[in-house]
Amino acid sequence: MTATTGAGRSAHPERPGKSDGVCSEFTVFTEIKPGHADALREDLAAMADTADDERVHAAVRQIGTLHDARHVIFDNDTRFMFASVFDGSWDTYIDDFAKTVVGERFDKVFSHSVGFPGVKDPGVKDWFVAHQAPAGVFVSAYPDLTVQQIYKDQRVDEAFQEVLDTAEFRAALENPANAELVATPAFQKLLEEASA
Amino acid sequence: MKPADSSGATGVRVEIDDVQSGALRPRPVPYEGKFIFLRVDDRHAGRALLRRLLPVTSGGLPDADRSGEAWVAVAFTYQGLRALGVPQESLDSFPQAFRAGMAARAELIGDVGESAPAHWEAPFGTGDVHIALSALSSDAAQLDRELKRARVAYEDTPGVQVIWQQEVRQLPTGRTTFGFRDGISHPNIEGVGLPGSNPQEAPIKAGEFILGYPDETGSLPPMPEPEVLGRNGTYAAVRKIHTNVAAWRRYLRANSSSAEEEARLAAKMVGRWPSGAPLTLTPEHDDPELAADPQRVNNFLYRENDDRGYRCPASAHIRRTNPRDSTIIGDARMHRLIRRGTTYGPPLPEGVLEDDGADRGLVGVFLGAHLERQFEFIKAEWVNDGNFIGYPGEQDPVAGHHGGTGTVTIPEKPVRRRLQNLPSFVVTRGGEYCFVPGLRALRWLAELEG
């Protein structure tokens, strides 16, 4: 595994929020505009609609640093929470993010919150930070892995499994001409993964 | 004021004649130039100096009929604007990165270790740099004449001190100290009337480079107040970078088994061959003829022909710092820069592998309307990290600060190559964030009262 220390380097170290390894948490609490809870609920339901699923996953892939995100209405329809986990600093990619389909949806969803200036407004980062509540504890199951590394690991495993399914690979393993390579500790590690 | 021809749907008209010529125009080839830093000890003297500099400072686009022309550009650090007596509410309206200065941002842009401000050459990072003058020309005699005119302005002004000077000039090879032609890419800026170097690049909003016009986000870039000060200005990150050419050559030698392989490895790290021919168009060998053709040398994208980087690695210097349409995290158009690299110091003679102790490298000027989203982002995310291309922690092979432990992945079939234990080939000797005002703003500064 490549060292991942650089991924956590932030261009905006002053931002609040807890980090674990390369990723950080971001949680925002806002006030829902009076009478807007149902409209917000409808927008969230539309976001969850599978018809839009592909577009949104493509946009999340384009952003490339977002591990997950959730939107929650609470306190008797008066308050709203957005929570996410991402690589590096939250506002590293926020300008780019405003240009994706996810940015549009953000705009729609947060338009029901009191005082939201719009996702393309130059002051939007300050607004989010003003509504952010840093976690008391934030822990990741994979503190060394960025979203990009996870994608890569997934691709490598899929390709590896495909190789394991070929008869040629088995034959090559048993071929005495390859004995030296197969005996190396590095290759033995690979075989250990191949064995289950 | 004559607006430049507009292009694009928005019909934005840039007041190009008010923008300093030194801000937008590409560097001449060949070139000679000089950077001069001044300290203002007396605000009235500083303003008097500006009044004398005004007629020397040119605006607008280069004149095709005057190829020998030279131009002087004037820029100010935050401390410089303070020294000139710019009102506090105006000073407070500048973005935080500019107010803090480059030295204060060193850690996040990766100027650490031997590149840290503690080791910078004086007066970089001391707060003494107030005014930065630059003069560039393709003609030495013309440069001299312009510099004489500028010198009259500051030499006759007690209360203003010259505190640093650096001569730059193109090496006889026409290449950088590392041996590569540079200064090839220039963005296609909407409404400015200068051609971009890549015919395939869609015009980028003027507000990415000049204050007072909408940028790629659709908003106006944050602008200092009053409007007369901000409008038609831009920001410049000015950096003096020492290049360790001997270390570069030794690393290439140690990781190759022939001269041919050495040249190929160097090209893989840079993304271009020494002539400037891009690997994306000619992956196996240099092609000086292609490189000499301005219609072809920069006419390429990455995604269609080289998405996986078998020709030009995703980690190569030119691909990282200008990823064009590459598959990356985010949107490359949000992080475009005007780059102007100039060379200082003597070349290390061909074939020499031991350091001769001479100071050589480049003075780089990186221009744009957003210091944080452009210069700082590119340094922190693209030069000093590789997560955006799926190689977390891997730095730019040429411009990264590797400290002997760097790795770089070069895609190859059947198995990718991984360079190990990279030393740093560059050391930051100093840098300053500057504001490059428009000409009306320059007059406003010259006429400040109190």
Exposed, middle or buried: residue B332 (CB in 10 Å: 0-12, 13-18, 19+)?
middle
Identify the pLDDT of residue A88.
85
pLDDT at A120 over 80: yes
Helix H or strand E segment including B116: none
**CA-CA distance, B186 to B368, in Å (whole number)?**
12
B219, B380, B393 member nearest A2 (Cβ): B393
Q: Do B219 and A9 touch (CB under 8 A)?
A: no
Q: Do B381 and A11 touch (CB under 8 A)?
A: yes
Identify the pLDDT of residue A4.
35
For chain B, residues with pLDDT lower than 70 are 1-11, 63-68
Identify the pLDDT of residue B44.
97
Count Cβ neighbours within 10 Å for each residue of A62-96 and write b for 16 or more, e otherwise: bbbbbbeeebebeeeeeebbbbbbbbbbbbbbbbb
Interface check for B288 against chain A (CB to CB < 8 A): the answer is no
**CA-CA distance, B150 to B22, in Å (whole number)?**
15
Collect all residues from A whose CB is shorter than 8 A from any CB in B. 2-7, 9-13, 22, 62-65, 87-88, 92-93, 95-99, 120-122, 146, 148-149, 151-152
> For B15-25, what is each residue's pLDDT tens digit?
999 999 989 88
> For B422-448, what is each residue's pLDDT tens digit?
999 999 999 999 999 999 999 999 999
Q: Do A64 and B334 touch (CB under 8 A)?
A: no
> Can you tell me the ipTM of this complex?
0.77
Q: Residues A107-135: what's their mean pLDDT?
A: 93
Count CB atoms within 10 A of the CB of residue B60.
20
**CA-CA distance, B384 to B348, in Å (whole number)?**
27
- Candidates A5, A92, A126: best to mutate against B (most CBs of B within 10 A) is A92
Identify the pLDDT of residue A14.
59
